Amino acid sequence: MAKKYSLLSNVYFLGAFATIGGMLFGFDISSMSGVVGTERYQNYFNHPSSSLQGGIVAAMAAGSFFGALLAGPLGDNISRKRTIMLAASIWIVGSIIQCASVNVGMLVVGRVINGVAVGLASMMVPIYQAEIAPKNIRGRIVSLQQWAITWGILIQYFIQYGCSFIDSNAAFRIPWGIQVVPGMILLVGTFFFPYSPRWLADKGRWDEALEVLANLRANGDKNDPAVQAEYKEIEDAVNFDRTLAARSYLELFRRPAVRRVFLGMSLQSWSQLTGMNVAMYYIVFIFQGAGIKGQNATLQASSIQYVLNVLMTIPAILFIDRWGRRPVLLIGSTFMALWLFLIGGLMGRFGSPIISDNQTTTWAIQGNDPASHAVIACSYLFVCSFAISWGPVSWTYPAEIYPMRIRSKAVSLSTASNWAFNFALAYAVPPLLESIQYRTYFIFAAFCVAMTVHVFFMFPETKGRTLEEMDELFNSDIPAWKTHSQPVSHLDRDIEELKLNQEHSRHSQLDNNGKNPDDLVHPHDSTVPPHGTDNMGQVPDEKTEVEHVPGEKTEF
């Protein structure tokens, strides 16, 4: 069979391109930070009061919350691919409205629309990535989404800074208008993308599912053992799903689904409760508290943390599939707790209250350079610790733990949890910093300790398993802290067996009549055994960490 190679069947290319959706997310996070301080913006929008400004900022997170919820049913019904295209189209409309805003009302409408787009994309891109990626690089591919978020934050921040020197309304119109460009690229590019093979299978479009899988895994060779085995695994899972009752949101809150749904939602909520967005949104306050003065100095200090955020996501992309999810989460939150305790402790010990002209009290370190530098260093280390751990894993884990029948809806709930806490913290942090000052950092440090404990006891290791193998992991009685990566999965064994079978039949056919042994074996009528069994339907002796009973998949 002629083998073909195309960029559109390269998982890295597809996964990386789809992350433009994550870039929109990043643009969203920093879309106000560099504009809000400019005179042009303030004059044009009549110096919005702080609560009105808070509303303008939060409008986007609110839109994202609803977008993420909407993405659940959309992802199932119109497909992952078309949902991403829809997100890109909505983003373009929202950006045009924002860019053309003539008053606060129009600006808020534009931001809500952009928010909906980000909610859709931030939920759908990781699912698409997880569904096209082979298990051994799934963590890496989904982590690209986090990398794109960090790039989006950085790029938008610098565009806004650059435009702040323009002496016209272009100072804020350009940064918002330019957002159309990634939206267009995403829309046009995704049009040529394949559908997720798992979504196709779920819709009964088996031939297309096989074709896409063959393109993704073996340059179009449908006979390749890896393609055949994975296809069979998907087929088993989809057929099993069909034997269950109708899918509904209610199912998510019943046993046994509820445990995993809770894990996904709490992981995303915890990722916000690390306090990372205090650094992303309000880094200026942290640095002011550390005693940095002047706009330029603050800008420089802030830009360093955005750059570190981008750089420190790279090790996660490279090694997450080797390190595993649990160690990364546990070490990440332990270190974040440490840096936050240190920031709070240093500020409390060396800082003092400062009463400004308008009678508001802030807390800052003054005239103590070593203490100031230590606070700044700790906040950089905090950002690095998040970037290498919770940032990527908070997207990877929810995208991989659910079975197909509830994946879209369940991931949409976990992403919506991210946005709900994002929204709440964006509002709560400024008043907290004003009223309890440096103690705010202790609260986030305490959250980091709590999430470490939660992960240790409740989150099983998912590294090395296919999406279809998650059921037995979560249905097993093995406590989370005793789960390890699966060194040899059912899929690996099936592939090996298929290779042997194909080799064997090739030899015997050559011996018999020299017939071409490469005739297509369609997995529907193939001899691929159910996973976990050998050719005779027997369970091989080989010891695996989680017992699998052939043909008797535990419900869900």
Instruction: State the residues that interact with ligand BGC by CB under 6 A.
Output: 29, 146, 149-150, 271, 276-277, 280, 309, 391, 394, 418, 422
Least separation in angstroms between residue 496's CB and ligand BGC is 37
- Comparing CB distances to ligand BGC, the nearer of 149 and 416 is 149
Give least dist CB 423 to ligand BGC, A.
11
In the complex with ligand BGC, the residue whose CB is nearer, 315 or 517, is: 315
Give the side-chain half-sphere CA count within 13 A for 376. Answer: 22
Q: For 198, which DSSP code?
A: H
Strand partners, 351: 365
Q: What is the 3-state secondary structure (H, E, C) of 382-428?
A: HHHHHHHCHHHHHHHHHHHHCCHHHHHHHHHHHHHHHHHHHHHHHHH
Bridging pattern class, strands 351-355 and 361-365: antiparallel
Quote the CA–CA distance of 317 and 146 in Å, as a whole number: 9
Nearer to ligand BGC, 34 or 391 (CB): 391
284 CA to centre of own chain: 26
State how far the Cα of 432 lies from the Cα of 443, in Å rounded to an integer. Answer: 10
DSSP letters along 5-59, please? --GGG-HHHHHHHHTHHHHHHHHHHTTTTTTTT-HHHHHHTT---HHHHHHHHHH
Return the ∠ at Cα 424 (arms to 67 and 419), rounded to 5°.
25
CB of 25 to ligand BGC, least distance (A): 7
Distance in Å, CB of 534 to ligand BGC, minimum: 43
Q: How far is the CB of 64 from ligand BGC (least distance, A)?
A: 10
Secondary structure element (H or E) that encloses residue 472, with its range: helix 470-475
* Residue 418 C-beta: closest distance to ligand BGC, Å: 5
Minimum CB distance to ligand BGC smaller for 108 or for 148: 148
Q: Which of 196, 271 has the CB closer to ligand BGC?
A: 271
Choose between 228 and 396: whose C-beta lies nearer to ligand BGC.
396
Looking at the Cβ atoms of 146 and 483, the one nearer to ligand BGC is 146
Q: Shortest gap between Cβ of 54 and ligand BGC (angstroms)?
A: 17
Nearer to ligand BGC, 129 or 277 (CB): 277
Closest alpha carbon to 143 in 383, 399, 336: 399
Q: How far is the CB of 422 from ligand BGC (least distance, A)?
A: 5
- The DSSP line for 106-162 is HHHHHHHHHHHHHHHHHHHHHHHHHHHS-GGGHHHHHHHHHHHHHHHHHHHHHHHHH
DSSP state of 359: S
Nearer to ligand BGC, 200 or 316 (CB): 316
Q: Find the shortest distance in angstroms from Cβ 95 to ligand BGC.
A: 19
Smallest CA-to-CA distance from 172 within 308, 48, 319 is with: 48
Q: Please, which residue, 151 or 206, has the CB nearer to ligand BGC?
A: 151
Q: Which position has the token pair 């008797």?
A: 552
Sign of CA pseudo-dihedral 479, 482, 485, 489: negative
CB 115 within 8 A of CB 64: yes
Query: Which residue, 115, 116, 119, 121, is CA-closest to 80?
Result: 121
The minimum distance between CB 440 and ligand BGC, in angstroms, equals: 17
Distance of closest approach, residue 419 Cβ to ligand BGC, in angstroms? 9
Classify burial at 250, counting beta carbons within 10 Å of its beta carbon; exposed 0-12, middle 13-18, buried 19 or more: exposed
Kindly tell me which of 142 and 445 has the beta carbon lying closer to ligand BGC: 142
Supply the minimum distance, in Å, between the C-beta of residue 271 and ligand BGC: 6
Sign of CA dihedral 264, 265, 268, 270: negative
CB nearer to ligand BGC: pick between 306 and 438: 306
* DSSP assigned state of 546: S
